[in-house]
Amino acid sequence: MELTTVKIGAVSVLDAAGRIDSVTAKSLEEKAPRPHQGSAARPRLDFAKVDYISSAGLRVLLVAAKQSKAAQCKFALCSLKAQVREVFDISGFGTIIAIHPDRASALAAAS
């Protein structure tokens, strides 16, 4: 898995590529944008190049979403491929984490 962080104004976007599974989930956990209490940061994860996500990856995202909520920040994902989106829908994570169809809409929602 490859991870690249880009800062766009007050928004941190993490571009992920490859598989998010029990082997790579720790890297995602370490690199995922972290909100801070009172911060204007709006963490976004772009999954346009993610081909697979396991329960280990979902756990990392759930923790990040809970931390964002506690810090009153809006955490969101965008650009999920159909097979990854299906995992979110089946697991119920699609109702827990905001998912946008593309980066532009995710950034617009961060405003």
| pLDDT the model gives residue 35 | 66
Among 79, 2, 81, 78, which residue's Cα sits nearest to residue 43? 78
Q: Residue 102 carries which DSSP code?
A: S
**pLDDT of 73 strictly over 90:** no
Is the Cβ–Cβ distance between 43 and 9 less than 8 Å?
no
pLDDT score recorded for residue 41: 62
Q: pLDDT-based confidence at 84, cuts 50/70/90? A: very high
Amino acid 37: pLDDT:
46
Mean pLDDT along residues 10-24: 92
Instruction: Find where tokens 């993490």 sit.
Output: 14
pLDDT at 83: 97
Model confidence pLDDT, tens digit, residues 38-65: 444 677 899 999 999 999 999 999 998 8
The percentage of the chain sitting over the pLDDT mark of 70, rounded to a whole number, equals 92
CA angle 6, 1, 53 (to 5 degrees): 100
pLDDT of 69 > 60? The answer is: yes
